[in-house]
Structure 1
Amino acid sequence: MREDDAMTEETITPRTIADRYLDHVAAHNPLEAAWLGLHPGDDRQPDLSPEGFEALADIARRTLTALDTLEARAAAPPADEDPADRNCARLLRERLTAELALHDTGENFRQLRTIGAHVHQVRDIFTFMPTATDDDWAAVAGRLRNLPAALDGYRATLAEGISRGLTAAPRQTAAVVDQLTAWTGENAEGDGSGWFAGFVAPGPEGLRGELDAAALKATAAVAGFRDWLRDTYTPAAADTPDAVGRERYGIAVRHHTGADPDLDEAYTWAWSEFHRTVAEMRTEADRVLPGAGVQEAMGHLERHGHTVIGEEAIRDWLQQLMDEAITALDGTHFDLSGPLRRVESRIAPTGSSAAPYYQGPSLDFSRPGRTFLPTLGRDTFPTWQLVSTWYHEGVPGHHLQLARWVSLADRLSRYQTTLGMVSANIEGWALYAERLMDDLGFLTDPARRLGFLDEQMLRTIRVIIDIGMHLGSAIPADAGFHPGERWTPALATEFLATYTGSSADMRDSEIVRYLGWPGQAIGYKLGERVWLQGREAARRRRGTSFDLKTWHMKALSQGSLGLDDLAGRLAVL
């Protein structure tokens, strides 16, 4: 660490190192600060230039050096070592090593995708900002004025990628161009004013001119960056393949899972899950519509099942679903109190990806956890799939886990409960939560249960085609679908259409997502497998004394862990 980072030998622990890392990241990257609820009034945008990414990497390297120094001072861990310190040290080292592996192989120079991308930071940051006072809105105006420079920085990063031969595939660029067009309001559903103008519309009249001018400036910058992507970047990246290959895929998988799973075993296991789920779906389809096949039953539910009309109505319906789950689960299967009981249902902003998502609360819970539904221009919402999905996104899924972590930030570390999140852990818990609700009898209605099984099938297919497309895997002879052929985006799209109830727009979005975010999509099922195996190992260990609520709360009180460490910890709770 630098001189100004020095801590006394008496106070330095893995948790203090981890939290100091969080402080440095928040000081460098205002997006992280806004998400955490730190540095109110800051009007900066993230530094997306090559120098900005290198500065973040340098913070990670200095932190690893500090951790090395601490561990070198102790010949062996003390007998009374706090398990929270041990877990935090392992997580911090694994996470920073995985992040530096991505950085050092140049992934930042070619990162364009439709979800969780660097380019999205310049808009996402506004969704974390408070807007209660004139000072809050003044910070919004300043951040809008700073948006063009942030996009200029990312243009420099992508241009450097071109010079190094590190580019995103045309499929990703085209999809991001479409997203940016939606931000500007120039798409078919837009009114020409754009997202930023809509965001500042509720602002105070005293700042009206400043806010409108700043929104106009930001919108123009987005349009200019989009045009550069379309007219300059796309031709330069025209020959870039969709698939990333085994080496890049392995690095990405480590980052998303905190493990190095046997990918060939995972691919084979997913096929066994696929066949099991097909059989369950056939049984449930017959309950929905006697004599019908799966696709026919799902089509029937789309046309004739329970439906909610209107964005406001579906937002309220999803809020009620989460509120009911909190009431039903509290005291029986979880202990839910205080901020864990507060979660907001919202409609996703235009230009989002097609998948629903969750945003965690700020460290002080002044901003609660929020679920988001992308409407994609729709006004009619069949609910047969949404029930299980909102158990995943809200309660007992993402909100319960991530809000619980934040509530324990002082006991564990702020890093372990926020920045140190491992995708496969949290997505695995959320998928486990869907299955738990089925096991507890919340999905006995045939329509809702078919929706749950459809979501399970989607996550199973993700393992198959994410690995399959990037590694060029062969389809097994007993698959019942193009046996012996190698996966392509066209085959993957057909596979989704044949075995899930996803719409054409959703299928296209899914394929673009997998190809642009390699390794992330497999974490749902692989993470769920670890959570289920850990629970059963704990049940066998404790025998008749095993209590599910107690196990749940202990499991949710550990903070973030990669899958390698999670498996062992869950078994001994």
Structure 2
Amino acid sequence: MSNSPISKILDNFIEEGIKLSPIGATMLGVPGHDDRLDDFSMAGYKKQEDLARNTLKAIQAETPINEFDRIAKDVAIERLSSELKLSESLESNILFNLIASPVTRIRQVFEMMNKEKPETVANVTKRLNGVEEAFQGWRSALSFAAEKGTVNSRRQVLATAGQLETFSKGAFTAVAKKFDPSGSNQELFAAAQRAEKASGDLAGWLRDEYAPQSDPKDGVGAERYQMWARHFTGADLDLRDTYEWGIEQLKLINDRMWVAAKKLYPDATSLREVADRLDEDPRYTVEGEEELLKKLRDFITVAVDRLDGKEFDIDPRIKNCEARLAPEGSASAAYYMGPSEDLSRPGTTWFPTMGRKVFGWWNIVSTWYHEAVPGHHLQVATTKVNTERLNRFQRNRVWVSGYGEGWALYAERLMDELGAFEDPGYEMGYLSAQGLRAARIVVDIGMHCGYTDFDGQVWNAQSAFKLLHERALLDEISARSEVDRYLGWPGQAISYKVGERFWMDCREAAKQRLGSKFELKKFHSFALNLGPMGLDPFKREMALWDGN
């Protein structure tokens, strides 16, 4: 992209941000910072906030030199403004859960370090020795916010304490073994033990000292929820309308589930029964971790071959996408982490085994279209290599859940349109994924905003669990993990289905506008080359597309 004043300002934002976030530097694949962790104290947060505020002010004063520049400016203003609103209110400092927190960032960064480099063991040792200080910094930030009357919910505090307890029982020793299988580096393993002790100490503090100060209520209320929903979607939503739409979508999905269910097991009396039988059906299960990984990797390869040159033009540089098992202590949902900036580390999908040895392939198929290709990997990696249109900020720093998760759910729907789920077992998996995202809208808005459930009671963790278990077909472990996730991440759960709605609306509007000139592959190319942005600006930009 041209080196405009706006690009220079945003490039500087990235460079300064790397200095403030060694974890972020490792995630990007930028060398020179792999021996340190972030400063999670209020002083560290203040530096990040000042950088964002100064960058926003500088961007607002600049005039774009072309259309790419105009979009970059709009994206930067929208994202930085949203982040500042959350940090200035201490919201982003105190809300944490099993997926997004300093705890998970610290654990995940070790998975992103290149064990082939000779200096890596020394860097890992230093980083492990820094875990205690990082946790102490975060603890001080939580205490500061608590003194101001801003605290997280008790459910999230206790769940994170449990996660830390798990980490204290060998998680960092496992990290050390990854980098030194022989176990001969005593300094490395001593550092791992110190990190585990720090994890146990923080777990105890959260449970014994912070939890009694935390909020016994799960929901954040409509005002705070609207702010978070705006951040995660980049759209101004009518929450009641979105909630009612979610209920309608769930009913439509459940009706289609029954059609597939009768093809599978004509005698089934509930959708839950169908899911349980699929979990036991050898036609739709995989046994053993190694066999699972092999199937996932083969699946990604086949998906790339199936779609490239037809619905997409996939850049050869990003055709490789890895599949790995998630570290112990992860939440129950699969996830994706993008490639390094230079592509030396590929994009990677992660599967949490949750202690299981037999896996329901029937509902993994749709999930891996979501996580890999044509879902997250295709979108994120396409953004990474788009240096002609997108600046470094857009390629590496911008993530809007509504755009990205909306795309990944759209990708699942696209595969349904292309006939990937003709087998009723895999169709049930796809529909359960769709049902989950519709149910998320209902229970996330319902629990946080205090709406009433189908029995006339205010939505709570138990009624949410029941809906997810019986109508979105999640197993018990996953359903409980999901509920904890929503309550600790307000507004994020709705971004999938809401985002998919925007993607589908934009595609339909383009078809109506362009008629015979509409081409699906060109639609995908144009939309993905815009780069990540909020859903409202995405809709405006897509309305300008001329079909080329």
How large is the RMSD of aligned CA atoms in angstroms? Answer: 1.6
After the TM superposition, which parts of structure 1 deviate over 3 Å for at least 4 consecutive aligned residues? 204-207
1:171 and 2:155 matched: yes
Aligned twin of 2:279: 302
Q: Deviations over 1:382-438 (max 9, x none)?
A: 111000000000110000000000011453111112211101100000000000000
Distance in 2, matches of 1:450 and 1:11, equals: 49
- My pick for the range that moved more, 399-408 or 126-135, is 126-135
- My pick for the range that moved more, 305-314 or 277-286, is 305-314
Distance in 1, matches of 2:157 and 2:388, equals: 41
1:508 and 2:492 matched: no
Match of 2:258 among 243, 268, 282: 282
The one-letter amino acid of 2:374's match is P
* Identical positions, percent: 39
Note closer, same or farther for the CA distance 1:145–1:260 as it changes in structure 2 (3 Å cut): same
Note closer, same or farther for the CA distance 1:11–1:362 as it changes in structure 2 (3 Å cut): closer
Alignment of 1:330-345 (within 5 A): 330-345=308-323
1:216 and 2:208 matched: no
Match of 2:69 among 70, 73, 85: 85
SS of equivalent to 1:201:
helix
Aligned twin of 2:448: 470
Q: Is this contact kept in 1: 2:287–2:359, CA < 8 A? A: yes
In structure 1, list runs of 5 or more residues that go unmatched. 1-9, 72-76, 186-193, 476-480
Alignment of 1:235-384 (within 5 A): 235-237=212-214, 239-292=215-268, 293-304=270-281, 305-384=283-362
SS of equivalent to 2:62:
helix
- My pick for the range that moved more, 412-421 or 203-212, is 203-212
Q: Deviations over 1:235-267 (max 9, x none)?
A: 222x43111011111111111011111111111
1:150 and 2:134 matched: yes
Match of 1:557 among 518, 529, 535: 529
In structure 2, list runs of 5 or more residues that go unmatched. none
Match of 1:523 among 492, 495, 517: 495
Distance in 2, matches of 1:361 and 1:511, equals: 29
Distance in 2, matches of 1:93 and 1:383, equals: 42
The one-letter amino acid of 1:234's match is A
Distance in 1, matches of 2:474 and 2:48, equals: 38
Q: Deviations over 1:78-107 (max 9, x none)?
A: xxx422111110110110110011111111
Distance in 2, matches of 1:451 and 1:144, equals: 40
Q: Is this contact kept in 2: 1:109–1:160, CA < 8 A? A: no
Alignment TM-score, normalising by the size of structure 1: 0.92
Aligned twin of 2:15: 23
SS of equivalent to 1:143:
helix
Note closer, same or farther for the CA distance 1:200–1:474 as it changes in structure 2 (3 Å cut): same
Q: Compute the displacement of 1:118 (Å).
A: 2.5
Note closer, same or farther for the CA distance 1:546–1:494 as it changes in structure 2 (3 Å cut): same
Alignment TM-score, normalising by the size of structure 2: 0.96
SS of equivalent to 2:324:
strand
Aligned residues: 541
The one-letter amino acid of 1:327's match is D
Alignment of 1:402-413 (within 5 A): 402-409=380-387, 411-413=389-391
Q: Compute the displacement of 1:467 (Å).
A: 0.4
The one-letter amino acid of 1:20's match is N
Q: Compute the displacement of 1:69 (Å).
A: 2.4
Note closer, same or farther for the CA distance 1:23–1:271 as it changes in structure 2 (3 Å cut): same
Aligned twin of 1:542: 514
Q: Deviations over 1:187-236 (max 9, x none)?
A: xxxxxxx1111112143569712211111111111111111111111122
Distance in 2, matches of 1:151 and 1:316, equals: 37
Aligned twin of 1:61: 53
The one-letter amino acid of 1:519's match is G
Note closer, same or farther for the CA distance 1:217–1:409 as it changes in structure 2 (3 Å cut): farther
Distance in 2, matches of 1:389 and 1:509, equals: 17
Q: Is this contact kept in 2: 1:113–1:172, CA < 8 A? A: yes
The one-letter amino acid of 1:215's match is A
Q: Deviations over 1:363-393 (max 9, x none)?
A: 1001100000000111111111000000000
Distance in 2, matches of 1:216 and 1:505, equals: 29
The one-letter amino acid of 2:476's match is A
Q: Is this contact kept in 2: 1:14–1:86, CA < 8 A? A: no
Distance in 2, matches of 1:266 and 1:360, equals: 30
Q: Is this contact kept in 2: 1:406–1:418, CA < 8 A? A: yes
Q: Compute the displacement of 1:339 (Å).
A: 2.4
Q: Is this contact kept in 2: 1:534–1:568, CA < 8 A? A: no
Q: Is this contact kept in 1: 2:60–2:77, CA < 8 A? A: no
Q: Is this contact kept in 1: 2:272–2:469, CA < 8 A? A: no
Q: Compute the displacement of 1:287 (Å).
A: 1.2
